[in-house]
Amino acid sequence: MDNKEKELREVQMLGLKLPTDPRWVNLAEKGLEEILTDHAYCEQKAATACISLIQAFPEKEEMVRELAPVVTEEWGHFRMVLSEMDKRGLRLGRQRRDEYVNQLLQFQKKGGSREERLLEKLLTCALIEARSCERFRLLSLHISDPALRDWYHKFMVAEAGHYRLFIDLAKRYTGEAIVRQRWREYLEREAEIMKGLELRGDRMH
């Protein structure tokens, strides 16, 4: 199996229930400044989410060790987006309400044990990574600018790795069967959320 096939198989294994409408890429590339702005803030939020996990669960030592470099990596992604915008003379706009993430957060079970709360957070992160990965893949295949195709491909590969890491951490701390069950519920809910959101070219999700 060559690398391309391997990547494709990984993306298909993300398990998302609702593939993104392919017209999204056309909408996105019509407003590059908007989509790059939204992307930039997604990377910031990814870094912040890892920092929050470390702050909330310092006793999960392996998780702390494994997420610490991801913070750097996500911040590096933010800087990649900034420099791509600079190169193209585009400006970072303001952050917008993230309806997708807000709705996912509402789905998290509140209360429960520390382990249960950790599970909810890890699966939410895994899901956002999975959807981002799916969308980066579409951009890497279909956006007209060849330089951007390669550029988006790097994000796709990185976010696939993060998705796997969050799932692995969830399994390590709560067990395979529980993760499988709850992950299915998250996937169902995510598909409903996606279906309910307007298809917009200025949003990564």
Under the binding rule (CB under 5 A), the answer on residue 74 touching Fe ion is: yes
Nearest approach, Cβ of residue 49 and Fe ion (Å): 9
Of 137, 162, 182, 203, which lies in the binding site for Fe ion, with binding defined by CB under 5 A? Answer: 162
Question: Binding to Fe ion by residue 203, rule CB under 5 A?
Answer: no
CB 128 → Fe ion: shortest distance, Å? 8
Q: How far is CA 24 from CA 118, 125, 133, 198, in A?
A: 33, 22, 14, 11
Reference 131, options 23, 204, 37; nearest CA is: 204
**Dist CA 189 CA 205 (whole Å):** 14
**Buried-state track 189-200, b at ≥16 Cβ within 10 A, e below 16:** bbeebbeeeeeb
Cα(149)–Cα(140) distance, integer angstroms: 4
Q: Which is nearer to Fe ion, 137 or 162 (CB)?
A: 162
Site for Fe ion contains 40 (CB under 5 A): no
CB of 78 to Fe ion, least distance (A): 8
Helix axes 114-142, 176-196, angle to 10 degrees: 50
Number of shown-chain residues binding Fe ion (CB under 5 A): 7
Q: Determine if 134 is a binding residue for Fe ion (CB under 5 A).
A: no
Residues 97-116 that bind Fe ion (CB under 5 A): none
Measured over the CA atoms of residue 77, residue 84, residue 19 and residue 205, the dihedral's sign is positive
Q: Is 167 in the site for Fe ion (CB under 5 A)?
A: no
Tell whether residue 77 is a contact of Fe ion (CB under 5 A): yes
| Residue 120 touching Fe ion (CB under 5 A) | no
- With beta carbons less than 8 A apart as the criterion, state whether 143 and 134 touch: no
Among 11, 46, 156, 204, binds Fe ion (CB under 5 A): 46
Report yes or no: 127 and 190 within 8 Å, Cβ to Cβ.
Answer: yes
C-beta of 34 vs 159, nearer to Fe ion: 159
Using CB under 5 A, list all residues that contact Fe ion. Answer: 43, 46, 74, 77, 129, 159, 162
